[in-house]
Amino acid sequence: MKTIQSLGIVLFCLALAFFSILPFIGSYTLRPELVEKNTKDIHQKQMLEILQPMYGELYSSNVAFIADFNKYFNNYNDALKASQSWDQVIWDNYALPLTKASSQSPVTENPWLYLGLTVFLAIVGALLYILPMYAGKLPGIKHDGIYFSSMKSKGLLGIITGSWLILFYIVLYWFPEYLTNLILMVDPLSMAISGNPASQWFLYGLIYTIAILVMGIRMFKKYKGNAYQRLRTGSVMFFQLAFAFMLPEILVLFNMPWHDFKNIWPLDYSFFYDYRLEGMTSSGALGMFMLIWGIILIIVAVPLLTYFYGKRWYCSWVCGCGGLAETLGDPYRQLSDKSLKAWSIERYLIHGVLVFAVVMTAVTLVNYFMEFELLGQATNQLHSIYGFAIGSAFAGVIGTGFYPLMGNRVWCRFGCPLAAYLGMVQRFKSRFRITTNGGQCISCGNCSTYCEMGIDVRWYAQRGQNIVRSSCVGCGVCASVCPRGVLKLENADEEGRLQDLPIIIGNKSITIKN
Ligand code: SF4
Ligand code: SF4
């Protein structure tokens, strides 16, 4: 078994190395016809002139190609900005489509081979490592040696992994042209599913989905014998594959707007942006359904389902961010900060993001219905700030890159505005609670250690007090790792949910304090 696992690690590391160096291979040559084909009609004339010095040049790497592209393109735009000729400035980003079109790398010739050497090899390596992991072991969650693992306790391996993820996210969000070869590699797959060439978001969606599926298999192995954990893992795998990855691409194939039916505003912060509203209202009956379905989710499904089941119905069973946190992020759940300071930062930050999202959306909608007479295009600035700071930096770079450094729910805990909304309903009007049988608690602290939301579960367990916290995502891991069966996730009647009758366990007595 050890040999198979070692082989798995070697294959995975090889695939990761291929994946990391692939963007830098190949050469690039720009030709006028490529500019014509990949720019909008209104920009064609200018772009053909701007990029003239690059035609026919052979660039030995994308770094050299992009450096020249940026030099000529920025010179042009900067001159216009200096003379305040704002209407002539080209705001569109042509770096990625033109780098992609100019590529002469071997990936363009044989994308399937490179997809095999990177993504598929990584899957094989990961499975060879994961499948034998708990073979021959009895059911029961094993966390042996977790604080001696460099990967799981902020050691060198964890820091390297976090840094790689952060770097990948930064390049993916803001400099995707440097990932040209990786995007070219998934072009045939994208063509097969949606009929369109791949963008960086297709690459991202593919890797994201594979990560959830492969690490979901690890969850099945790790939590064998635990029906709750296995069911909800199956659920997040299904929702990610079917609803977040396949269905939106198939919609594009049928000329419909890309739409994730399980994404809910304000997590889906662009839902009420003008281009989304126009896309939906101009797409016939299905487009109208998308709009109405989205609104029903916000005003009916969230309060109703959260009333009955707590926020777990979404955060731990449906959401893609939660899905990645619960699968890829599972090895890091013990790294969440349990301090009171973290809790106070959490409350200000997450509710601050919710207020930002609500105000931005309200202003956007008023402006839209006043036909942009109120603020003109100024709301676009607001959208850019939110998109950059919250949508990309917080949710993407920090949310995922910081798994090995701050635990797996950094975004869900500190930033997600939908989690804040669900949390308010869960705290004030819900049947969900975690009941604690305090008399059985041996204060081992397993529950607090593995609570990914930084809740000190043991504090409640020692007092026999129900846990009613807005941040609890109902992952159930505290209950799964408790050796005494103290904790139980329940949706019983609201009555008695908020109680404060601590069981005081003394040396010689157990008293229920009134
Ligand atoms: S309290 Fe338990 S169920 Fe809630 S988030 Fe923490 S570990 Fe998950
Ligand atoms: S894991 Fe169970 S026994 Fe251990 S501290 Fe938590 S509630 Fe008590």
In this predicted structure, the answer to whether residue 503 has a pLDDT above a threshold of 80 is no
| Residue 450 near residue 478 (C-beta atoms within 8 A) | yes
Query: DSSP of 87-154, one letter per residue?
Result: GG---S--HHHHHHHHB--HHHH-HHHHHIIIIIHHHHHHHHHHTTTTTTPPSS---TTGGG-TTTTT
- With a cut of 90, say whether residue 375 has pLDDT above it: no
249 Cα to the center of ligand 1, angstroms: 34
**CA 227 – ligand 1 centroid, Å:** 16
User: What is the three-class DSSP state of 444?
Assistant: coil
Spacing, Cα 321 to ligand 2 middle (Å): 28
CA 235–ligand 1 middle distance (angstroms): 18
474 alpha carbon to ligand 1 midpoint, in Å?
5
Beta carbon of 442 within 6 Å of any ligand 2 atom: yes
User: What digits encode the pLDDT tens for the residues 122-144?
Assistant: 999 999 999 999 888 888 888 98
For residue 141, give the ligand nearest its CA: 2
With contact defined as beta carbons under 8 Å apart, do 195 and 258 qualify?
Answer: no
Residue 295: its H or E element: helix 284-296
Beta bridge partners of 512: 503
C-alpha–C-alpha distance, residues 403 and 124, integer Å: 23
pLDDT tens sequence across 213-237: 999 999 999 999 899 999 999 999 9
Q: Give 131 Cα–ligand 1 centroid separation in angstroms.
A: 27
Average pLDDT value for residue range 280-305: 96
User: Which residue's alpha carbon is at the smallest distance from atom 3 of ligand 2?
Assistant: 441
Closest ligand relative to 440 C-alpha: 2
Looking at the predicted structure, is the pLDDT value of residue 52 above 80? Answer: yes
Of the listed ligands, the closest to the CA of 467 is: 1
| 416 half-sphere exposure, CB direction, 13 A CA radius | 31
Residue 501 pLDDT class (50, 70, 90 cuts): low
The 10 Å Cβ neighbour count of residue 275 is 10
Query: Residue 463: its pLDDT value, please?
Result: 87
CA dist., res. 432 & res. 493, Å (int): 9
Q: What is the pLDDT at residue 371?
A: 82
Residue whose Cα lies nearest atom 8 of ligand 2: it is 441
446 lines ligand 2 (CB under 6 A): yes
DSSP H/E element including 504: strand 503-505
Listing DSSP states for 247-273 in one string gives HHHHHHHTTPPP--TT--TTTSTTTTS
Is the model's pLDDT at 395 over the cut of 80? yes
Measured from CB, residues less than 6 Å from any atom of ligand 1 are 434, 451-453, 455, 457, 467, 472-478
Is the confidence at residue 449, as pLDDT, over 80? yes
For the residues 57-65, what does the mean pLDDT come to?
A: 94
How does residue 510 score in pLDDT terms, banded at 50, 70 and 90?
low
Our mutation pick for probing the ligand 1 site, out of 314, 332, 338, 478, counting the most ligand atoms within 8 A of Cβ, is: 478
pLDDT band at 405 (very low <50, low <70, confident <90, very high): very high
Instruction: Please tell me the number of the ligand nearest to residue 470's CA.
Output: 1
- For residues 99 and 181, what is the distance between their CA atoms, to the nearest angstrom? 10
Q: Which of 333, 487, 488, 505 to mutate to test the pocket of ligand 2 (most atoms within 8 A of CB)?
A: 487
Give the model's pLDDT for residue 513. Answer: 56
Measured from the Cα of 312, ligand 1's closest atom is 3
Ligand 2 centroid to residue 315 C-alpha, Å = 24
Q: Does residue 497 surpass a pLDDT of 90?
A: no
pLDDT band of 506, cuts 50, 70, 90: low
Q: Quick one: tokens of 414? A: 């500190």
Contact 233, 327 (CB under 8 A): yes
Give the ligand with the smallest distance to the CA of 485: 2
Q: What is the pLDDT of residue 87?
A: 82
Q: Which residue has the higher pLDDT, 508 or 226?
A: 226
Q: Is 445 in the pocket of ligand 2 (CB under 6 A)?
A: yes
The pLDDT score that the predictor gives to residue 374 is: 76
Distance set, CA 408 to CA 112, 161, 174, 228, 332 (Å)? 32, 13, 23, 19, 6
Kindly indicate the confidence band of residue 504, based on its pLDDT and cuts at 50, 70 and 90.
low
User: What pLDDT is stored for residue 507 in this prediction?
Assistant: 56
Q: Which ligand sits nearest to residue 333's alpha carbon?
A: 1
Query: Whose alpha carbon is nearest atom 5 of ligand 1?
Result: 472
Whose alpha carbon is nearest atom 4 of ligand 2? 444
247 lines ligand 2 (CB under 6 A): no
242 pLDDT higher than 70: yes
pLDDT at 508: 62
Ligand 2 centre from 268 Cα, in Å? 37
Does residue 210 register a pLDDT over 90? yes
Closest-CA residue, ligand 1 atom 7, reads 451
- Can you tell me the mean pLDDT for 319-341? 96
